[in-house]
Amino acid sequence: DAGITQSPRHKVTETGTPVTLRCHQTENHRYMYWYRQDPGHGLRLIHYSYGVKDTDKGEVSDGYSVSRSKTEDFLLTLESATSSQTSVYFCAIASFSGIGDTQYFGPGTRLTVL
């Protein structure tokens, strides 16, 4: 199994509070991704990174920001959490991006915003 951990694994927070989720990898992969998973939507890309300090938006980036100061860590921040951000969040890593790449997923973080 690829070395990917996510923390916390579960979090309950209140509307309007800031939340930061952490993804840590030990594989030295260049690419890192944050997805959210909701029933009926599969996985939707929030943000991704193609190197240290190099990030870009995905299809559902509103209300989220990311940072990558080290190869191994990719942080997802909800500046002011809303109930619509209740979801399961997955981090993924890949050694390259393109045809034939394999994304390895972390175990997920279940976030509930009350």
Partner 1 sequence: TQLLEQSPQFLSIQEGENLTVYCNSSSVFSSLQWYRQEPGEGPVLLVTVVTGGEVKKLKRLTFQFGDARKDSSLHITAAQPGDTGLYLCAGMKNTDKLIFGTGTRLQVFP
Name which position in 48, 52, 81, 82 contacts partner 1 (CB under 8 A): 48
Residue 103, interface with partner 1 (CB under 8 A)? yes
Report d(CA 48, CA 31) in Å as an integer: 7
Cβ-count burial of 95 within 10 angstroms (0-12 exposed, 13-18 middle, 19+ buried)? middle
CB closer to partner 1 out of 13 and 105: 105
CB closer to partner 1 out of 79 and 108: 108
CB closer to partner 1 out of 36 and 113: 36
Residue 3, interface with partner 1 (CB under 8 A)? no
Report d(CA 112, CA 97) in Å as an integer: 31
Cβ-count burial of 75 within 10 angstroms (0-12 exposed, 13-18 middle, 19+ buried)? middle
Residue 5, interface with partner 1 (CB under 8 A)? no
Interface residues with partner 1 (CB under 8 A)?
Answer: 4, 35, 40-45, 48, 58, 90, 92, 97-108
